[in-house]
Structure 1
Amino acid sequence: MAPPDLPSFGKKYLRLFADYQGPTTLRSCPLTLAAQREENIEMKRVTLTFDNGPTPGVTEAVLSILERNGLRGTFFMIGEKVSAPGGVALMHEVHRAGHWVANHTLTHSVALGDRPDAGYAVREIDEAQWRIAACATPAKLFRPYGNDGLLGPHLLSRAATAHLLRGRYTTILWNSVPGDWRDPDGWVERCVSQVRAQDWAVVVLHDIETGCLAGLPDLLRRLADEGVTFTQDFPDSVVLTRDGHPVSLDPAFIADAPTSHDITR
């Protein structure tokens, strides 16, 4: 079966995406901006996200660290882990603490761009959404499986993209993957370097056994020393779709994206 075509406004956006320029400056009060100009200091924002949970024994410890620091983030949860023993209770604990509960596919097994059939995409997206529905805030926040945090055409298929648009999902990517799960000794320093390199870092951490837990207090101290502003929001540059409308949707993230000829004909 051929993958479903993109909605008309999605086609129009894909024709125009090459001209898109994401936000490069951040707003603040006039006095703060004046001080920054005088001292040549560039203000930084950081959004913390936690993938691949919930994990009993880990997620609640991450929540405690965030609470001590007065921080809120987004937890992109795997549907099957929510349904595992202890998962639902942890999801509710995350939600009660003021964090956003979001969708990170049902199985986190095969990237959507590597399985172009519509049935797979719909199941991975919607079944996970159903399992987190009681706590999903804001509604329908979705992050595709990146396969080691990579960005590329493996992230989405045309079928998945069309479903996200029609289902009014908000699709979130990332721009900082320090590798907490594979480099326990070096990921904190790498994260600080990635934050320094951009105006607004959307950091991918993991609330899993081999994830960020041990180094998270050190990271938060380091970032506080850097003078960053923590926020729960996301810059447009990592938002592919918002409430079913294209924002930074790019064919480079769609494995079987239509060609320019397909889009314009």
Structure 2
Amino acid sequence: MTTITLSFDNGPDPDTTPAVLDTLARHDIRSTFFVLGDKLRDRRAIAERAHEEGHWVGNHTFNHIVPLGMSSIEGISTSEIARTQDLIGDLAHPRRFFRPFGGGGILNDNLLNREALRYLMEGGFTCVLWNVIPEDWIYPQGWVERALTLCFQRPHALIVLHDLPTGAMTSLDRFVRTARDRGARFEQDFPRDCVPLERGELVSPMESYVTDASA
């Protein structure tokens, strides 16, 4: 049986995120929303609703401009994480979830730099990666079939979707129904191999995700 964990990046969006929450509520599914601090400032009520309905709220940097591993200016990476975490405030899960910006969903050493990794470790963060990228931002009307194919190739899929106003999330209901019809179950927690850092402790090597890393 395939297990699927849903996650949503780059919100909250004033229209799309509430619609996603409505869909998840209909299907009794809990997920994680990795928010951008720059958007959260004026839309915290949406994140509060997600939290109240049992979803987890995670940190996805403040501006989402470039992957942290591509930033060479001292202090920028720390600020990107810290400012967003301050805005999340009491909505944060005790595990303090953080997902790096991957630039097209690519898992490579652009995800983090040494400064960012050090801050995450010292701050007791849990770094959450992914293993399914259906590119819903590129194929807003065609991501469902791609997502289903990718999810059913592994025992536990952690899929990255985007609660953005592209129209892609109008197909979320169809994705969930089809996945369940094919025997999938939905779970909120993440596959262990997508979490290399747990509460600040390395649980698997991270050198391939960190620019000039020795971790």
Q: TM-score, normalised by structure 2?
A: 0.96
The Cα shift of 1:211 comes to 5.5
The Cα shift of 1:138 comes to 3.6
Equivalent-residue separation in structure 1 for 2:47 and 2:152 (angstroms): 32
Name the SS for the 1:252 alignment partner.
Answer: helix
> What stretches of structure 2 of length at least 5 have no aligned partner?
none
Q: Does 1:252 align with 2:208?
A: yes
Where in structure 1 do 4 or more consecutive aligned residues deviate above 3 Å?
none
The letter of the residue matching 2:56 is W
Cα shift readout 1:40-64 (whole Å, capped 9, x = no counterpart): xxx2111000000000011101000
In the alignment, which residue of structure 2 is the partner of 1:122?
78
RMSD of aligned Cα (Å): 1.3
Name the SS for the 1:182 alignment partner.
Answer: coil
Q: Which has the larger radius of gyration?
A: 1
Equivalent-residue separation in structure 2 for 1:132 and 1:120 (angstroms): 19
Equivalent-residue separation in structure 1 for 2:207 and 2:188 (angstroms): 27
Q: Does 1:55 align with 2:17?
A: no
The Cα shift of 1:239 comes to 0.4
Q: Judge conservation of contact 1:172–1:238 (CA < 8 Å) in 2.
A: yes
CA 241–143 in structure 1, closer or farther in 2 if over 3 Å, else same: same
Equivalent-residue separation in structure 2 for 1:70 and 1:135 (angstroms): 20
In the alignment, which residue of structure 2 is the partner of 1:106?
62
Counting matched residue pairs gives 215
Q: Does 1:217 align with 2:173?
A: yes
Equivalent-residue separation in structure 2 for 1:251 and 1:211 (angstroms): 36
Name the SS for the 1:205 alignment partner.
Answer: strand
Equivalent-residue separation in structure 2 for 1:217 and 1:118 (angstroms): 43
Cα shift readout 1:153-175 (whole Å, capped 9, x = no counterpart): 10011111111111110000000
The letter of the residue matching 1:45 is T
Equivalent-residue separation in structure 2 for 1:127 and 1:249 (angstroms): 27
Q: Judge conservation of contact 1:117–1:159 (CA < 8 Å) in 2.
A: no
> What stretches of structure 1 of length at least 5 have no aligned partner?
1-42
Name the SS for the 1:233 alignment partner.
Answer: coil
The letter of the residue matching 1:210 is T
